[in-house]
Every structure is written in structure tokens, then in C-alpha cells.
Amino acid sequence: MSGDLGPRVAVSAALKFTAMFADVDVLLVGDEQQLLALASKKIPAKKLSQNRITIIHAADVITMDEDPLVALRHKQNSSMWCAIDAVKNNRADACVSAGNTGALLAISKYLLKTFPGIERPAICKAMPTEAHTAYLLDLGANIHCSAEQLHQFALMGSVLASSPAMKPRVGLLNIGKEDTKGTDVIQAAQTLLRNDERLHYSGFVEANDIFSSDVDVIVCDGFHGNIALKSIEGTARFIAKKIQRGFTKNWFNKFLGFIMLPLLNQWRTELDPSMYNGASFLGLQKTVVKSHGNANKKAFLQALMVAREQIIQNVPARIQQQFSSI
């Protein structure tokens, strides 16, 4: 019910999601009348169940600017709480929300808990690189982190990025690649990562190498991760606007834009931010995915697909196994 654009985006994406994948059912949690009215614009109410859509009524809403602790203490009837509780009670396998990030994290940690050996969940997101996709974590859940927590993030990210064909390369975000660079926490974290045989540690990574394909997992605390992510998003919007304005400046530039249109469309598809929407709360015992607050239908659909993939890949159980294999 929350998010910058309200429930219409989630409802529209959910209908598309069930149409695309026959192996999913969706529980829409929120104000029943609003959700039914939105869904009925595309599917008659009596046919929602045939399209594997179920509406669960929740009387309250956690606003985007609400204090997470207030929400945790007083919003047990909210759509967010009820959705996470459905996951806790095995009525759902995952929760996807575009709502208040702090509240989503606090309620998820309270209801779903973390695995033994994991002190805090980390927000993890896929990033496009020159040759593949890399995972960046933490992106804002934990402002201050110990070396041990950064080590835990590395193990969780390694599980998410792993495949039968390779052992993911893990890098530690730092202000330089030299071994002497970084804070005491970064130095201590590097020692832990180097000495853990479960990890393929590649060394320090600078911010200008995030897209280089040199590593598959980039670990940092939530403060620097969030700044890095917001800087990337802002730079992408800036470049897109400069390109658009440049090709409409005069008739010659318009002609060049027409000639380059196939290449520009290819870049737009490859770098479309909506294709990378959906950040995972790694470390929880069940799957929770955070969609960007202003996600459109295409972006929210991608977040749903991230949740489905993590269920199929059994990511929480694999993380638990990673932490038990000491």
C-alpha cells in the first residue's frame, strides 16, 4: 500500500507476474476495497483466483516517512506487517515491498530473524558490469559495521553470486587498492576475508572499478554503499539527460541521433535501471525483497522476479549452510 506511487503499481505488476509465470501465486496485502478496485480494472473480481491472485485485507499503512521503531511497535495491522507475517507463517515464500525501507528491515528482522552467525541483515543489489552482473552490499541497512559483520556480508554475497561453474570473486570497497589503505575496520576485515577458505577474495576495490567486472561481489558498510549507489543513480540520470538534450539541440544533432538510434536503444535496454530493481535483505531466514520506492510497473515486476529466483535458488537455506560449514 505504500511506496511513492501507491498500490496501483504493485497490483499491475502482480497481474503481469502471474501471467508470465505459471508457478507463482500472489497475495496482495492492503486495503481490500482499493486493491479489488485496481485489480478489477484488468480482471473481473470473480476471476482473480483463477489468475492466482488473493487479496488479504490490512487496515493500516506504514507511510514512507514513518519512524521504523514506531512502525515496529504500533503498526501490527499494517499491510507491511501482515505481508511479512504471512511469510513467517509459511503462507508465502517471500515478501516484496516498495515501502519504507527502515520499517521493512526492522519488522522483517523482528518477525523472520537472522540465521545463527549473522548479526545483521544486509541490503544487496545486482549491478551491471562490463561483462556480467556483480552484487553490492550493504546498501544502507547498517551504517556502522565491524570487521566481523563485513566478513558475514562477504559470505552472504558469495552465496548469492555463486554458480556451479565458478566460485565468486569477492572484493572489499576501499579508497585504494594498496594493502596499507583503509580504516582499521577495513584492514581487519581484509584479514578475515583472506583467511576464509570459503571465499575467493580478490582484494580491495575502488569505487571507479565497481563496473569493471574484476569481482562478482563488492562488500562495504551501509553508509558508503548507499552513497555509492545514489551517486551511480544520479550519474546515470545526468548522462541520460545530457545525451537527450545533445541530440535535440539542432538539426544536425537530430540527424546524428537518428543514425545512432539502434545503438542508443541497445544501451537503454542494457542499462535500464528498472531491470536491476529489487534489493535483497540477505541474512534473514526467509526471502524479503525491497523495491525502489518510485518503481514503475516494469521495475516492480523485476523485484518480483528477483524474489521468485531467490526462492527457486533456495538462497536463505544456502546462506544458512554457508555459515554452518566452518
User: Which positions ≥6 away from 76 have C-beta within 8 Å?
Assistant: none
Overall residue count recorded for the chain in this entry: 326
Name the grid cell of 267.
544501451
Decide if 133 contacts 142 (C-beta within 8 A): no
Q: Which residue has the cell 558508503?
A: 224
Decide if 96 contacts 175 (C-beta within 8 A): no
Of 170, 158, 162, 167, the residue nearest 202 (C-alpha)? 170
Q: How big, in percent rounded to 5, are the helix, strand and coil portions of the chain?
A: 50, 15, 35
Q: C-alpha distances in angstroms, 27 versus 57, 96, 142?
A: 10, 10, 29
φ, ψ of residue 59 in degrees (nearest 5) = -80, -20
Confidence at 326, pLDDT banded by 50, 70, 90:
low
Alpha helix locations (H) across 247-296?
251-259, 261-270
How many whole angstroms separate alpha carbon 160 and alpha carbon 163?
9
The pLDDT of 289-302, averaged and rounded, is: 92
Q: Looking at the predicted structure, is the pLDDT value of residue 156 above 70?
A: yes
The pLDDT of 126-149, averaged and rounded, is: 89
Percent of the chain with pLDDT strictly greater than 90: 64
Q: C-alpha distances in angstroms, 177 versus 114, 132, 140, 171, 184?
A: 32, 22, 23, 10, 15
Domain 119-282 class, CATH top level: alpha beta
The pLDDT of 58-69, averaged and rounded, is: 94
Q: Looking at the predicted structure, is the pLDDT value of residue 200 above 80?
A: yes
Give the per-residue pLDDT at 25: 94
Can you say whether the dihedral through the CA atoms of 231, 233, 237, 240 is positive or negative? positive
Decide if 35 contacts 28 (C-beta within 8 A): yes
Give the per-residue pLDDT at 269: 62
Give the per-residue pLDDT at 246: 77
The pLDDT of 166-191, averaged and rounded, is: 93
pLDDT 10s digits, 297-308: 999 999 999 999
Lowest mean pLDDT among 14-28, 107-121, 131-145: 131-145
**Is-same-fold flag (1-118+283-326; 119-282)?**
yes
The pLDDT of 76-99, averaged and rounded, is: 96
Question: Residue 47, Cβ neighbours under 10 Å: how many?
Answer: 11
Mean pLDDT rounded to a whole number for the chain: 89
Q: Which residue has the cell 482473480?
A: 48
Percent of the chain with pLDDT strictly greater than 70: 95
Lowest mean pLDDT among 127-131, 201-205, 287-291, 307-311: 127-131
**CA torsion, ordered 313, 317, 318, 324, to nearest 10 deg:** 180
Q: C-alpha distances in angstroms, 304 versus 32, 101, 244, 301?
A: 21, 16, 30, 5
Give the per-residue pLDDT at 36: 92
Give the per-residue pLDDT at 67: 94
Lowest mean pLDDT among 27-31, 124-128, 188-192: 124-128
pLDDT 10s digits, 260-280: 777 666 666 666 666 778 899
Instruction: Check residues 211 and 59 and name the one with the higher pLDDT.
Output: 59
Give the per-residue pLDDT at 271: 62
Decide if 196 contacts 151 (C-beta within 8 A): yes
Question: For the chain, what are the domain ranges?
Answer: 1-118+283-326, 119-282
Q: Looking at the predicted structure, is the pLDDT value of residue 49 above 90?
A: no
The pLDDT of 56-84, averaged and rounded, is: 95
How many whole angstroms separate alpha carbon 179 and alpha carbon 182?
8
Distance of CA 39 to the CA centre of its chain: 25
Domain 1-118+283-326 class, CATH top level: alpha beta
